[in-house]
């Protein structure tokens, strides 16, 4: 089965972060993703991911180009003239100064979808701020809206939510929408993906409530952030934790009945009863282990699930039954398992051959762009490519 994006060529100028997540997901859908890296790495400014990060480069190829040289710039534009998508994550203004910005590429390829991913966008007073995932969660209201420590310290999230959902997924959605529009008009599009904007979109329930009512959204005050006992986490007898999300009255009634707390059914949203309800739920859950409760409650329409660690999730039979993991073979032979492509509509295999990141696909990629071997050799001799 072919991928849904077969025939789409993507040039990715990033090495880590939202752009690499986006291009990796596009590769999972069958796009020909070509990672464009520098001929020499400046270790002070460019992060080099561990070999198994970002799915080990699954489904991608790579070239190395000196974008600061005239011949390197021309070589990149040659590739871009044949591409469908360019993704970059330089700080605002850098690609224009290098001569590889949207206008430069559009002049050669009017159908190009050019996606710039930055923390705060190309415009606005934060545009030139440096930042990472935690910063974008901070300005978007996510950290302040999450249950703080006893001293009020905002929590550190356990995953890069901003990079993944706020940035990478936003970029994929925008790119796919632009490709659909191009199919009708023939025209490309410039996409200004700001990760902080993506976080704000994820916070839409809370932000829209503030805009509509003027009420401050304090931690623990929203219905789904700790206001009610029916939506919280509880410790079991073995120290494990359970996530309870019995929002609907029927699920709450099922839960209370299973726990022998029938007298609590009609008090689910009684504002004055929440501390008491939390206490009785905590006492009930403390009587048995996490997994014992899961065995009893998870399949009984109670909206109860175990809080799993990353290692537990990696061994979880539920995910394994969904074929969420795949074996890999790398340059040195068999490698470790990794997450398979997980999004709906991807072609999922049981094993994957991972690229050797120590070598490039430069000769093949430039040959596909129409350069003969002597031209490629001349570019390499000049240090424009590697």
CATH code (residue 133): 3.40.50.10540
Are 229 and 372 members of one domain? no
Residue with tokens 């409760």: 293
pLDDT reported for residue 42: 44
CATH code for position 291: 3.30.1540.10
* 163 flagged as catalytic: yes
Are 16 and 162 members of one domain? yes
* 82 flagged as catalytic: no
Residue 1 lies in a domain: no
Which of 248, 279, 307 is the last residue before a domain boundary?
307
Which of 272, 291, 307 is the last residue before a domain boundary?
307
Residue 213 lies in a domain: no
pTM: predicted TM-score of the whole model, two decimal places:
0.92
pLDDT reported for residue 63: 96
pLDDT reported for residue 43: 40
Residues sharing a CB contact under 8 Å with residue 264, sequence separation 6 or more, in sequence order? 256, 273, 277, 280
Distance CA 63, CA 379 (A): 13
Distance CA 351, CA 117 (A): 31
Are 348 and 282 members of one domain? no
pLDDT reported for residue 225: 82
Are 252 and 229 members of one domain? yes
Residue 4 lies in a domain: no
Query: What is the phi/psi pair of residue 328, to 5°?
Result: -130, 155
How many domains does the chain divide into? 3
The length of the chain is 386
Are 61 and 172 members of one domain? yes
Q: State what percent of residues in the chain have pLDDT above 70.
A: 97
Residue 24 lies in a domain: yes
Are 330 and 280 members of one domain? no
Residue 74 lies in a domain: yes
Are 110 and 259 members of one domain? no
pLDDT reported for residue 44: 45
Residue 153 lies in a domain: yes
Among 12, 32, 163, 361, the active-site one is 163
Separate counts of helices (H) and strands (E) for the chain: 16, 13
pLDDT reported for residue 51: 77
Domain that holds residue 111: 9-201+356-381
Q: At what angle do helices 195-202 and 204-213 cross, to 10 degrees?
A: 70
Residue 212 lies in a domain: no
Q: 250: which 2 tokens?
A: 């029927």
Are 196 and 321 members of one domain? no
pLDDT reported for residue 47: 64
Q: Is 54 helix (H, G, I), strand (E, B) or coil?
A: helix
Instruction: Point out the residues of the chain with pLDDT beneath 50.
Output: 42-45
Are 368 and 280 members of one domain? no
Are 323 and 338 members of one domain? yes
Are 272 and 294 members of one domain? yes
Among 96, 128, 132, 208, the active-site one is 132
Residue 218 lies in a domain: no
Are 27 and 119 members of one domain? yes
Contact 162, 201 (CB under 8 A): no
């Amino acid at each position: 089965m072919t991928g849904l994006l077969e025939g789409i060529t993507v040039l990715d100028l990033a090495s880590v972060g939202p752009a690499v997540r986006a291009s990796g997901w596009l590769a999972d859908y069958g796009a020909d993703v070509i990672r464009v890296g520098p001929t020499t790495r400046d270790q002070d400014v460019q992060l080099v991911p561990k070999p198994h990060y970002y799915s080990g480069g699954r489904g991608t190829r790579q070239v190395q180009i000196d974008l600061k040289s005239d011949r390197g710039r021309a070589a990149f534009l040659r590739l871009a003239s044949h591409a469908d998508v360019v993704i970059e994550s330089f700080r605002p203004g850098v690609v224009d100064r290098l001569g590889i910005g949207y206008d430069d590429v559009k002049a050669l390829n009017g159908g190009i979808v050019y996606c710039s991913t930055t923390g705060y966008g190309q415009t606005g007073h934060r545009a030139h701020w440096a930042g990472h995932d935690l910063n974008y969660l901070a300005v978007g209201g996510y950290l302040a809206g999450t249950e703080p420590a006893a001293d009020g310290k905002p929590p550190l999230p356990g995953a890069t939510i901003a990079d993944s959902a706020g940035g990478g997924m936003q970029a994929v959605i925008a790119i796919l929408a632009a490709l659909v529009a191009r199919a009708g008009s023939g025209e490309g599009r410039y996409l200004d993906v700001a990760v902080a904007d993506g976080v704000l979109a994820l916070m839409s329930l809370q932000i829209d409530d503030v805009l509509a009512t003027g009420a401050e959204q304090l931690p623990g005050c929203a219905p789904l952030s700790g206001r009610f006992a029916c939506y919280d986490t509880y410790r079991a007898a073995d120290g494990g934790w359970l996530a309870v999300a019995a929002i609907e009255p029927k699920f709450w009634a099922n839960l209370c009945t299973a726990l022998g707390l029938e007298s609590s059914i009609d008090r689910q949203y009684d504002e004055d009863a929440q501390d008491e309800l939390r206490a009785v739920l905590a006492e009930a859950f403390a009587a048995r282990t996490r997994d014992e409760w899961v065995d009893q409650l998870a399949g009984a329409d109670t909206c109860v699930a175990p809080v799993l660690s990353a290692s537990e999730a990696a061994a979880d039979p539920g995910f394994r039954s969904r074929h969420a993991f795949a074996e890999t073979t790398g340059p040195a032979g068999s490698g470790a398992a990794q997450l398979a492509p997980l999004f709906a509509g991807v072609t999922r295999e049981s094993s994957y051959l991972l690229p050797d990141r120590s070598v490039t696909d430069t000769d093949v990629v430039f040959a596909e762009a129409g350069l003969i071997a002597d031209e490629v050799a001349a570019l390499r001799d000049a240090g424009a490519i590697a």
